[in-house]
Structure 1
Amino acid sequence: MLPRSARDFGSAQYWERFFQQRGPRAFEWYGGYLELCAALHKYVRPRDKVLVVGCGNSELSEQMYDVGYQDIVNVDISEVVINQMRERNAHRRPKMSYLQMDMLQMDFQDGQFQVVLDKGTLDAILVDEEEATLERVDRMFAEISRVLQVGGRYLCISLAQAHVVKKAVGCFSREGWMVRIHQVSGGEDGAAKRKFVLPVFVYVMTKFKKIPGSVLQILEICTEEQDKPVRVESTEQLVEAVKERQLYALLRSQLNKNPSASHVSLDLCGADTGKPRYTLHVVDSPSVKASRNNHFAIFIIPQGRETEWLFGTEAGRKQLAASASFRRLITVALHRDQHYEGMEGIQAELSGKVMELAPPGLPSQQQVPFLSVGGDIGVRTIQHRDTSAMSGEYLIEDVKGDNMCYFRRLIFLSNRNVVQSEARLLSSAAP
């Protein structure tokens, strides 16, 4: 039932054939109510009048109705699916309506709804960036804007391809709307049911009155592990933030499908600064014989020692993983100019994120050890920082090495993982 080309997703004839062949079985784009309810409940109030565009035969409206959202109007271009849904809901959900209608030219009054809900419809229409496609999307957005009250929300559930995010965010932010993108926290079960690994996002576009001459844009992203949204300065930054989440999901999928895949590394950035805080390297050792307690461990590299061969090279990390006798070891390097609250603070901060990178088949309730050298996070003290006309920014730092030895290093930040020069520090002689 797949179309011959992606453009057929915008064709009424294609959807008539699709729903005739599929019959009454629900077809869910991008997950069901349980995966989406956290975002929906945050932005849709039970008393809101809700318009669902491109409803198809999804059960989402029905499930929302059953938990108290009863003022729902559903529209779709397919007469077949509208007749199916009317018959299915006529007696069980009498207050909910289904209307055959082209959402590019709707019959509703201006400002009739508090919420417009779109699950996959924008993605189905915006399949490319051809002029005709973009014109259709502009008409769709214009109609959504027209039927929404000021203060109303357009909730668009999407896979957030870069061209889709850029178009949607750009159009609404230019009109003075507040734009926030939520990553849906569907959990592993939800991801398995969707049969694809890319995360689902919800664009929340809140309609404000456009102020003539104003250039203020309110753009935010809220990832699944964050309680508060993070403000960004431009559409390009928002697109990049979404792309990072997608690449992370692909990386996790790669690790799950092929635990002995090539060496993987990533930076974890601070939510408040956006600057790298930890660098993680995932090292698998398939040759290590599996036992109950050697599936997975985390190794915290003491500050200042990340450039040593054992921690700073792929070969060294492989040797470290093999000697530690864990089938998967994640090494964690701590960054300069970041404050850390000791080993316990680091463990608390990293526990949730590193468990997302656990190997498949890790026993439930398995205790995952945090390892280090000497039991502490090391010492790194920056003594001087300056800029050279020839080599750029540099710094001089003191670090603690093995056996309580201290070293003074020169580091050029253009190549921060290389020690330019190093001298061992000796205690001053007694008089």
Structure 2
Amino acid sequence: MNLLPRSSKEFSSSEYWEQFFRRRGERAFEWYGGYLELCAVLHKYIKPKDKVLVVGCGNSELSERLYDAGCQNLTNIDVSEVVIRQMNERNASRRPNMTYQLMDATKTTFADSHFQAVLDKGTLDAILTDTEAGTLETATKLLTEIGRVLQCGGRYMCVSLAQAHVLEKLVTQFSQGGWMVRIHQLSEGSGKESDSQFPLPVFVFVMTKVKEMPGFPQVLEMMPDDEGGKSLRCGSPSELMDMVKERQRYALIRNRLNQSQSSPEVSLELCDGISGKTRYTFYVVDTPTIRISHTNYFSIFIIPQGRETEWLFGSETGRKQLATSVGFRRLLIVALHRDQEYESLEAIQAELSTKVLELAPQGLPDNQKILFLSAGGDIGTRTVQYRGKSELSGEYVVEDVRGDGTSYFRRLIFLCNQNVVQSEARLLPVNTQIGQKKRRKEKKKQQQKANDKVEPETAHVIDKSYLCCEHHKAMISGLSLLRNPGVTEDQSISVLVVGLGGGSLSLFIHDYFLGAQVEAVEIDPAVLDIASRWFGFCLDDRLKVHLADGLAHINELAKKGKASYNVVMFDVDSKDTSLGMSCPPSAFVEKKFLQNVHKILEDHGVFILNLVCRNPVLKGKVMDTIHEVFPLIYVQKIEDEVNEILFCRPVSGQKRDLSDLRQSARSLEKQIKRPDMLWDETFVLADMFKSVQII
């Protein structure tokens, strides 16, 4: 029998409920859960001697069970004459102190401040079915009437699914006028006694009526899932509503995962119950091609701190590969967040053991042992060395992390995009032999220059041979296109690099190409400060920085009409990724600006561009525009990345055979590797041209 209304508007109709209860008969209807689901919360706030009003009581057994538990001063009201008659007949002799009255909750006949508690299980949801003016007016009347009949110190307990418009109405109305707002989430969206199953969780809103006092802080609280936890105080109504919405999102995701064994990857965040800051990010990856056995249903993988940006952990493709390699049907990949403390893998396992089971696939055998895995067997190391704020890019951190094995790295992270490493340098122990004297000299120079600024820890020094990005390695390999790459001091070349970052690209050219005069252009003064203080960047007569907008700087150079650079490099990202191109900003690939780049580049020079474009249509247009200005382009796709490096030649007759190009790269590598300089053996210049294409 279908007892649900055809339209949600019928929920607010007394005629609907009359018909409903006639068809339902005397069998109790427990929408949103019964006494067993609600008692733990209700008995926190309802005392045995309290006068309690139950609005929209229906034929629920909740009042009867509360009565039997000792709360006997109960008044129940409903707009259905049928249900009031049924409930009176059922309880007149068994529960004589409890009354059922036919009454509209929006206009009761009770005196002001008559009750210590008002209980509403689904009544507001039934009334507030939409956001039309008349509906909102009725809901306001209900909530105003409840406020009128409650004593000061009394509580309105509203059991609700907290749909967006209901949530906004409740929190907005009761977060003002001297009310304290506290929200509990029931442990299950619906339980054994419930008639209806909801994908959304059920919440109990507890509104405490207090005397309004000027200057008294607004009390808005979200209660934790566990009984022993502390409530989380919110700073604004919108923050409280966001917390409810996040819990609803979590429940919907869990419901979706429980219905499917082959869901696409989903992600969700878990926050610290005290600070409200994100503590864990979960990525749920299903691999339906894996044959299920009794041991490979489900596993948890903890990403070591500081390694969440690596391709294997930080990209959807990488996480799919990880899930396939570990061989579990569902893998829950967990990222740990900065600003949070974690003791050990065992402590994390204890903290997450209950939560992760909620995300386990259906069919998980009883008493199945859930494996917690990690790379390296521990939670990794992350040390924040410095925090700052750039006026252009916002807050940032400089942090040292341990990578795979025993390697350590220093990273610059802008917190507006925490999953992207802006710059990275490898750290070496101070006792590394090669170049030790030079590093001591440079370190002393940095310390003198920084004066009273905070210095990085002295246990490690920057390895200037290390290029963290594959696209930086590819850009360096592009210098093999030059007749004279500037390897020795008597082979002078001029290089313009737009985009500084930590300075590793400019520094590498400076240190390994002794004839290079390097100019870097950086729009953000904070970035230059970071590079100098934390990434070993030092200026001298062969390395200078222009603090300027790269667009304006090149346009100004072009006005002079002199081709003065052998190499121009663009390694600058876009703050607006909505167009589908994150590097470079779109203005850097407009035809007029590219023509100015052509003007400042010598005929035998090379323009090297890092292009990151996920929109194929836009990418085609960008490539066409570049080709209009530069007749010969070599394109190198970076493996496992979206990046493509474009080597653009200003004259079409400079085309070279690819095998000859790789040979030039091998020859260049032999020239720039010197006994007194470190060299990253993973960097093979010729490998950067393995899949190059000419267009």
Short-chain TM bin: over 0.9
Once the two structures are superposed, the pairs formed by residues 158-173 of structure 1 within 5 Å of their partners are: 158-173=160-175
Is 1:304 equivalent to 2:306 in the alignment?
A: yes
Is 1:62 equivalent to 2:64 in the alignment?
A: yes
Q: Which one of 204, 207, 213 corresponds to residue 205 of structure 1?
A: 207
Q: 1:390 Cα deviation (Å)?
A: 4.7
More divergent stretch after superposition (28-37 vs 306-315): 306-315
Change (3 A) 1:426 1:104: closer
Is 1:179 equivalent to 2:161 in the alignment?
A: no
SS at match of 1:317: helix
The TM-score normalised by the length of structure 1 is 0.94
User: What is the rounded CA distance, in whole Å, between the counterparts of 2:424 and 2:137 in structure 1?
Assistant: 62
User: What is the rounded CA distance, in whole Å, between the counterparts of 1:21 and 1:168 in structure 2?
Assistant: 32
Can you list the C-alpha shifts for 1:10-31, whole angstroms capped at 9, x where unaligned? Answer: 2222222221222212112211
Q: 1:193 Cα deviation (Å)?
A: 5.5
Which ranges of structure 1 fall in alignment gaps of 5 or more residues? Answer: none
Change (3 A) 1:189 1:205: closer
Q: Which one of 15, 19, 22 corresponds to residue 21 of structure 2?
A: 19
What amino acid sits opposite 2:52 in the alignment?
V
Alignment correspondent of 1:106: 108
Q: 1:105 Cα deviation (Å)?
A: 1.8
Q: How many residues align?
A: 430
The TM-score normalised by the length of structure 2 is 0.59
Q: Which one of 129, 132, 135 corresponds to residue 134 of structure 2?
A: 132
Higher Cα radius of gyration = 2
Is 1:397 equivalent to 2:399 in the alignment?
A: yes
Alignment correspondent of 2:365: 363
What amino acid sits opposite 1:353 in the alignment?
K
More divergent stretch after superposition (250-259 vs 296-305): 296-305
Alignment correspondent of 1:265: 267
What amino acid sits opposite 1:34 in the alignment?
L
Change (3 A) 1:190 1:252: farther
User: What is the rounded CA distance, in whole Å, between the counterparts of 1:410 and 1:230 in structure 2?
Assistant: 31
Alignment correspondent of 1:225: 226
SS at match of 2:377: coil
Change (3 A) 1:142 1:410: closer
User: What is the rounded CA distance, in whole Å, between the counterparts of 2:189 and 2:134 in structure 1?
Assistant: 37
Change (3 A) 1:58 1:400: same
Change (3 A) 1:194 1:429: same
- Give the fraction of aligned pairs with identical amino acids, expressed as a percent: 61
User: What is the rounded CA distance, in whole Å, between the counterparts of 1:280 and 1:14 in structure 2?
Assistant: 44
Q: 1:202 Cα deviation (Å)?
A: 0.8
Alignment correspondent of 1:429: 432
User: What is the rounded CA distance, in whole Å, between the counterparts of 1:391 and 1:206 in structure 2?
Assistant: 43
What amino acid sits opposite 1:111 in the alignment?
S
Can you list the C-alpha shifts for 1:71-116, whole angstroms capped at 9, x where unaligned? Answer: 1111111111111111111222222111111222212222221111
User: What is the rounded CA distance, in whole Å, between the counterparts of 1:151 and 1:384 in structure 2?
Assistant: 48
Q: 1:225 Cα deviation (Å)?
A: 3.1
Q: Is the 8 A contact 1:36 1:186 kept in 2?
A: no
SS at match of 2:9: helix
SS at match of 2:282: strand
User: What is the rounded CA distance, in whole Å, between the counterparts of 1:3 and 1:336 in structure 2?
Assistant: 49
User: What is the rounded CA distance, in whole Å, between the counterparts of 2:215 and 2:278 in structure 1?
Assistant: 34
User: What is the rounded CA distance, in whole Å, between the counterparts of 2:84 and 2:49 in structure 1?
Assistant: 24
Q: 1:138 Cα deviation (Å)?
A: 2.3
Alignment correspondent of 2:499: none
User: What is the rounded CA distance, in whole Å, between the counterparts of 1:210 and 1:183 in structure 2?
Assistant: 27
SS at match of 2:307: coil
User: What is the rounded CA distance, in whole Å, between the counterparts of 1:391 and 1:302 in structure 2?
Assistant: 27
Can you list the C-alpha shifts for 1:165-193, whole angstroms capped at 9, x where unaligned? Answer: 22122222322011111111237754986
Q: Is the 8 A contact 2:156 2:208 kept in 1?
A: yes
Q: 1:117 Cα deviation (Å)?
A: 0.8
Q: Is the 8 A contact 1:191 1:197 kept in 2?
A: no
SS at match of 1:174: coil
Can you list the C-alpha shifts for 1:43-77, whole angstroms capped at 9, x where unaligned? Answer: 11111111111111111111111221211111111
Change (3 A) 1:153 1:412: closer
Change (3 A) 1:383 1:228: closer
Q: Is the 8 A contact 2:230 2:274 kept in 1?
A: no
Q: Is the 8 A contact 2:408 2:427 kept in 1?
A: yes
User: What is the rounded CA distance, in whole Å, between the counterparts of 1:153 and 1:12 in structure 2?
Assistant: 26
Q: 1:404 Cα deviation (Å)?
A: 1.2
User: What is the rounded CA distance, in whole Å, between the counterparts of 2:192 and 2:58 in structure 1?
Assistant: 20
User: What is the rounded CA distance, in whole Å, between the counterparts of 1:174 and 1:385 in structure 2?
Assistant: 37
What amino acid sits opposite 1:92 in the alignment?
R
Which ranges of structure 2 fall in alignment gaps of 5 or more residues? Answer: 437-695
